[in-house]
């Protein structure tokens, strides 16, 4: 059985952290409606959604993925790179504690879950403005007993590794080659985003279904040609906060 931890959109979302985007007005009502549709999509795939209450003191807290890495064997509570986001981890740790043994990233390391891409027993971690080598080394120490390999990946031009690449099949990635090198992922196949849609590399693969955004029609066309089973969910309002599909849930087996 799969469970998804989500959190309602903070009424302070307009004060979110921004790194690569110009600040634009965020329609809170529309953001909430789109997030509800996202949770409904997860439920339609048979996932039990546990939605936490909105936190008006934590503008970015809807992006729960950044607070933890959840694997079958354990969970790692991160130490987000933005100071305003560090308080988000406490409530997530309490939610995860009944399900997993917990490890915690310690200072001075910083790590956002959006920089973590798991493919089989390999954990790729982006070296970004939010995640550093100290944290990557800690993750490696935590996961060696469980047989994982941890690989650092250079990321440039975007917020997180999963802004640049995500998994859409057992051996297939959707990728923006301007932001991350294909050579970092040996033995895998690639669907490149259309050059006019640089933010189109974020997709959420659940079972045999790829949750994807309709706002990237050209890359969507490539996914259709590749035969993907697609479920379309618009997260464009949270995209103004540098959010995407993978950001808004922590999905794991129980």
Strand 102-104 and strand 229-232: the pairing is: unpaired
Give the pLDDT band (50/70/90) at residue 250: very high
Residue ranges covered by each domain of the chain: 2-253
Tokens of 181: 């090198």
- What pLDDT does residue 217 have? 98
Nearest to 135 by CA among 113, 120, 157: 113
d(CA 242, CA 20): 8
**Which is the catalytic residue, given 16, 158, 247, 248?**
247
Q: How far apart are CA 79 and CA 87, in angstroms?
A: 9
Looking at residue 169, its pLDDT comes to 97
Alpha carbon separation from 63 to 70, 96, 120, 151, 244 (Å, rounded): 15, 16, 24, 23, 9
Q: What is the mean pLDDT of residues 129-136?
A: 97
Q: Is residue 16 annotated as a catalytic residue, yes or no? A: no
pLDDT tens, residue by residue, 211-227: 999 999 999 999 999 99
Distances in whole angstroms, Cα of residue 131 to Cα of each of 16, 32, 85, 106, 234: 18, 28, 13, 12, 27
**Residues 146-181: tens digit of each pLDDT:** 999 999 999 999 999 999 999 999 999 999 999 999
User: Is 247 annotated in the active site?
Assistant: yes
Confidence class for position 196, pLDDT limits 50, 70, 90: very high
Would you tell me how many other CB atoms lie within 10 Å of the CB of residue 19?
Answer: 14
- Catalytic: which of 151, 160, 194, 248? 160
Please report, rounded to a whole number, the percentage of residues in the chain having pLDDT higher than 70: 100
Give the contacts of 22 (CB within 8 A, at least 6 positions apart): none
Residues 35 and 184: their CA atoms lie apart, in Å, by 32
Q: What is the predicted pLDDT for the residue at 226?
A: 97
Q: pTM, whole model, 2 decimals?
A: 0.97
Q: Are 119 and 92 in contact (CB under 8 A)?
A: no
CATH class of 2-253: alpha beta
Q: How confident is the model at residue 143, as a pLDDT?
A: 98
Instruction: Give the pair of three-digit tokens for residue 137.
Output: 């080394």
Find all residues with CB under 8 Å of 207, minimum gap 6, and list them: 45
């Amino acid at each position: 059985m799969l469970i998804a931890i989500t959190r309602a959109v903070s009424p302070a979302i307009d004060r979110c952290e921004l790194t690569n985007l110009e600040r634009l007005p965020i329609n809170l009502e529309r953001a909430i409606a789109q997030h509800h549709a996202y949770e409904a999509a997860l439920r339609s795939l048979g996932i039990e959604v546990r939605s936490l209450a909105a936190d008006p003191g934590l503008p970015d807290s809807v992006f729960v993925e950044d607070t933890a890495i959840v694997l079958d064997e354990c969970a790692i509570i991160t130490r987000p790179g933005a100071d305003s986001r560090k308080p988000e981890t406490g409530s997530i740790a309490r939610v995860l504690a009944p399900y997993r043994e917990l490890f915690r990233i310690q200072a001075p390391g910083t790590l956002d879950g959006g920089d973590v891409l798991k493919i089989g027993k390999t954990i790729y971690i982006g070296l970004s403005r939010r995640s550093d080598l100290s944290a990557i080394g800690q993750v490696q120490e935590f996961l060696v007993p469980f047989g994982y390999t941890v690989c650092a990946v250079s990321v440039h031009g975007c917020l997180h590794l999963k802004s640049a690449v995500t998994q859409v099949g057992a051996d297939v990635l959707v990728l923006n080659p301007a932001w991350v090198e294909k050579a970092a992922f040996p033995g895998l196949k690639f669907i490149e985003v259309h050059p006019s849609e640089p933010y189109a590399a974020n997709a959420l693969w659940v079972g045999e279904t790829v949750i994807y955004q309709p706002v990237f029609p050209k890359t969507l066309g490539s996914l259709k040609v590749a035969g993907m089973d697609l479920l379309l969910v618009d997260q464009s309002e949270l995209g103004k906060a540098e959010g995407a599909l993978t950001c808004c849930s922590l999905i794991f087996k129980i």
